[in-house]
Amino acid sequence: MDFSSAPNTFQYSQEELRSFLDAIKFMYGYDFTDYAEASVKRRIMNFMNVHKIPSLQDLSRILLKDETVFETFIQELSVTVTEMFRDPTFYKSLRENVMVRLATYPIIKIWIAGCATGEEVYSIAILLKEEGLLERSIIYATDINQKSIQIAKEGLYGVDNMKAYTANYNNAGGKHSLSEYYISKYNSVMFDKSLKQNIVFSPHNLTVDKSFNEFQLIVCRNVLIYFNQQLQNKVINLFHDSLCSFGFLALGSKESLLFTDKKSSFEDVDRKERIFMKIK
């Protein structure tokens, strides 16, 4: 059947959406039931438009039958927008307010949750290297999206992005030239293997998986905005339990601890950049 004329909006009830998400959770173990409803609907509708699927029932039938299509669907539903040294003032604050305290630990364990395709991971690695901390750091980079993790492992990015990334790096207080950290290869750049030596890339689902270590720094930026308040609270509790005493939690500028039950367990390190320290 040709669905090319299918409308770009779809009507279905909250009950139908919930049943669809419950089926995904049961079949594949991915839990999107507490993601912000507007965000989930928008991404589902976009997927249905692109693939010309006329109804939620048809989408459910296809996804539950074909794991390959489901992997493509996960790519659409999980957030992968990122860039190197995104929001340079955030990295400048990390350099000035957090790195000096991390330097007091013999081994520094960092969790970058929702690492997407890895640009943020390499940004943190470069920051640590420039502060003389990379060799005694272990960076755990996790994401729900396994395709994104594979891209992050490769550390191979389009050369067209490097002008913007270089500007971000310079504005973040970079101490050298960003080009010192990568080599150009055809229309791509590959980041230096020395940056990867202490990085562990792994799938992790914030909605269902548990804490797996004790960290001095957790970075999770522009992820919680896609969760509803209940799930945001659950994830903040997970981060709290995963941090050592006086460990640091770095969130995106649009995210907050304000409506979570761990608000009083953190104090501001940089209120504007949403960097916090665990105090209890």
* Inter-CA distances, 188 with 70, 162, 182, 207, 214, Å: 29, 9, 10, 34, 36
| Antiparallel, parallel or unpaired: β 215-220 and 108-113 | parallel
* Domain hosting residue 19, numbered range: 14-77
Amino acid identity of residue 165, one-letter, is: Y
Domain assignment present for residue 233? The answer is yes
Domain assignment present for residue 4? The answer is no
pLDDT at 37 (0 to 100): 87
Same domain, 193 and 212: yes
Domain assignment present for residue 83? The answer is no
> CATH number, domain at 133?
3.40.50.150
pLDDT at 3 (0 to 100): 40
Domain assignment present for residue 6? The answer is no
Q: CA nearest 123: which of 183, 182, 55?
A: 182
Domain assignment present for residue 164? The answer is yes
pLDDT < 70 positions in the chain = 1-11, 79-80
**Do the beta carbons of residue 182 and residue 176 sit within 8 Å?**
no
Number of domains in the chain: 2
Within 13 Å and on the Cβ side, how many CA atoms surround 81?
5
pLDDT at 196 (0 to 100): 94
Same domain, 122 and 189: yes
Residues 152-198 have pLDDT tens digits of 999 999 999 999 999 999 999 999 999 999 999 889 999 999 999 99
Same domain, 137 and 107: yes
Place of tokens 């104090």: 267
pLDDT at 68 (0 to 100): 87
Residues 6+ apart with CB under 8 A from 67: 28
pLDDT at 7 (0 to 100): 44
Within 13 Å and on the Cβ side, how many CA atoms surround 170?
8
Amino acid identity of residue 108, one-letter, is: I
Same domain, 51 and 137: no
**Do the beta carbons of residue 243 and residue 140 sit within 8 Å?**
no
pLDDT at 234 (0 to 100): 94
Domain boundary among the residues 48, 77, 106 is at 77
Domain assignment present for residue 5? The answer is no
Same domain, 118 and 71: no
Same domain, 50 and 145: no
Same domain, 98 and 70: no
Domain assignment present for residue 199? The answer is yes
pTM for this prediction: 0.87
Q: Which two tokens stand for residue 32?
A: 């999107």
The residue ranges of DSSP E strands in the chain, in sequence order, are 108-113, 137-143, 156-158, 182-185, 188-191, 199-203, 215-220, 243-251, 266-270, 275-278
Domain boundary among the residues 55, 77, 99 is at 77
Same domain, 193 and 155: yes
d(CA 35, CA 232): 9
Domain assignment present for residue 54? The answer is yes
Q: Which two tokens stand for residue 86?
A: 């995104």
